Amino acid sequence: MSDTIFAKIIRKEIPAEIVYEDEQVLAFRDINPQGPTHVLVIPKEEIATANDIIGDHEQLVGHMVTTAVQIAKEEGIADDGYRLVMNCNPEGGQEVYHIHLHLIGGRQMEWPPG
């Protein structure tokens, strides 16, 4: 059993504002939102980083993306636009080593990121 904070959220050991859940993924609001909408979509399977995604995970990772898009539509930000981000390892800014897709929107994004 992993001790990442996200594993504890999956196991419902710590609370989170869950917006979607099925047998494969969980989506909940980020505790430190970077926009009016900031939802994290995570797989229930433990995958530490993007580097650990293998061919067997293609359906799962695709499901993470379609889940994020569905939530963007439900949040009313799909037409104006949003950002989907998966940070990898220290230089990518990853802090929690259980892969997650950030869905951020509801404000104008800048590019390039810092």
Sheet architecture: strand order including 18-21: 18-21, 25-29, 37-43, 101-105, 82-85
Shortest CB 5 distance to ligand 5GP, Å: 5
Which of 88, 64, 89, 75 has the alpha carbon at shortest distance from 38? Answer: 75
By C-beta, is 55 or 90 nearer to ligand 5GP? 90
Shortest CB 11 distance to ligand 5GP, Å: 13
Which residues form the catalytic set? 100
Judged by the rule CB under 6 A, the positions of this chain that interact with ligand 5GP are: 5, 16, 28-32, 40, 87, 93-96
Shortest CB 113 distance to ligand 5GP, Å: 12
By C-beta, is 32 or 108 nearer to ligand 5GP? 32
**Matching residue, tokens 């399977």:** 45
C-alpha triplet 106, 64, 97: angle, nearest 5°: 95
